[in-house]
């Protein structure tokens, strides 16, 4: 999980650098295209393409890919519009949206503890964005929209995971986003120089490695063990933002991010506690 955080953090830095020179769709295309290299290598060394590429839910993969593509656009765009630390902190609202959306979309029951954590978490979001006057800017709106669609993507993955292996979900998401983004290139192409090509290739490889190590982490340990480590990405984002662009986090950003992270960790704790009660299993749909 720590390797995944490092890979994705480096990818985010390169993406922010590249979007000063290239359209966001072009950067995302190469991020998806070159991510296919480590993904295909992992499949080749694993179960092989014949078994991995077989799927009974092509429309499910298409829907998940469209949602994931929307998330990627919003996240990359927010990196361009906001300090890197602020964009990552607002993306941590995704578990809050996921908990709220699990009620209408997954028919799950969310109890008072998790609803309270959601409300506190969104209070933390308000602290970060300070919605007064013109302070709630386009970047914050885009970042929060990305967190919302990220939650929808998690729900889509949760539903697909009932029948589809992780490598299958990762492969079709990477392949379909590459194809869809490729359709936009004639309308927004900027020819890279040698350094641009190097950074674009590195962005894709880092994204693919990040996805593979993330999937592997969740296959090796419970979510309660690995998921909290994802919050170290905020420290890396703030560090890279300070070193690369001189972005110093404000006090309100630090306080708000701490509130959002604490809420997300508490929701994870309640989720884990709810699922780890074998002596008295909960009826389907019940929660804490």
Cα-trace Rg, the chain? 19
DSSP code string of 115-168: HHHHHHHHHHHHHHH--STT-S-HHHHHHHHHHHHHHHHHHHHHHHTTTS-HHH
What is the C-alpha separation between 260 and 97, in angstroms, rounded?
12
Q: What does pTM read for this prediction?
A: 0.83
Spell out the domain ranges in the chain. 2-275
- Mean pLDDT per 10-residue segment, the chain (288 residues): 93 93 94 93 88 88 92 92 89 85 78 86 82 65 92 86 86 94 92 94 94 82 74 88 88 87 84 58 36
Alpha-carbon gap, residue 132 to 253, rounded angstroms:
15
Q: What is the pLDDT of residue 52?
A: 87
Q: Which two tokens stand for residue 106?
A: 């997954």
Query: Encoding tokens for residue 241?
Result: 């933002």
**Residue 192 CB contacts under 8 Å (≥ 6 apart), including other chains:** 22, 200
């Amino acid at each position: 999980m720590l390797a995944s955080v490092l890979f994705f953090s480096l990818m985010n830095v390169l993406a922010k650098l590249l979007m000063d020179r290239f359209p966001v769709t072009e950067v995302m295309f190469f991020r998806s295209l070159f991510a296919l290299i480590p993904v295909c290598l992992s499949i080749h060394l694993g179960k092989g393409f014949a078994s991995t590429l077989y799927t009974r839910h092509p429309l499910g993969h298409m829907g998940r890919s469209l949602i994931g593509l929307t998330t990627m656009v919003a996240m990359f765009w927010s990196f361009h519009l906001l300090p890197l630390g602020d964009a990552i902190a607002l993306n941590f609202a995704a578990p809050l949206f996921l908990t709220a959306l699990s009620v209408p979309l997954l028919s799950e029951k969310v109890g008072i503890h998790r609803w309270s954590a959601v409300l506190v978490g969104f209070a933390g979001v308000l602290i970060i964005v300070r919605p007064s006057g013109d302070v709630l800017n386009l970047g914050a709106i885009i970042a929060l929209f990305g967190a919302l669609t990220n939650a929808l993507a998690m729900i889509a993955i949760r539903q697909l995971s009932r029948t589809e292996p992780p490598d299958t979900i990762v492969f079709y998401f990477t392949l379909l986003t590459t194809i869809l983004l490729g359709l936009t290139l004639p309308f927004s192409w900027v020819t890279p120089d040698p350094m641009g090509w190097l950074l674009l290739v590195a962005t894709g490889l880092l994204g693919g490695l990040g996805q593979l190590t993330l999937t592997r982490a969740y296959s090796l340990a419970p979510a309660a063990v690995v998921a909290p480590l994802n919050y170290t990405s905020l420290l890396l984002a703030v560090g890279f933002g300070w070193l690369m662009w001189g972005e110093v986090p404000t006090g309100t950003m630090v306080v708000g991010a701490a509130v959002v992270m604490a809420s997300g960790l508490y929701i994870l704790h309640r989720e884990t506690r709810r699922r780890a009660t074998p002596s008295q299993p909960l009826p389907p749909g019940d929660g804490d």
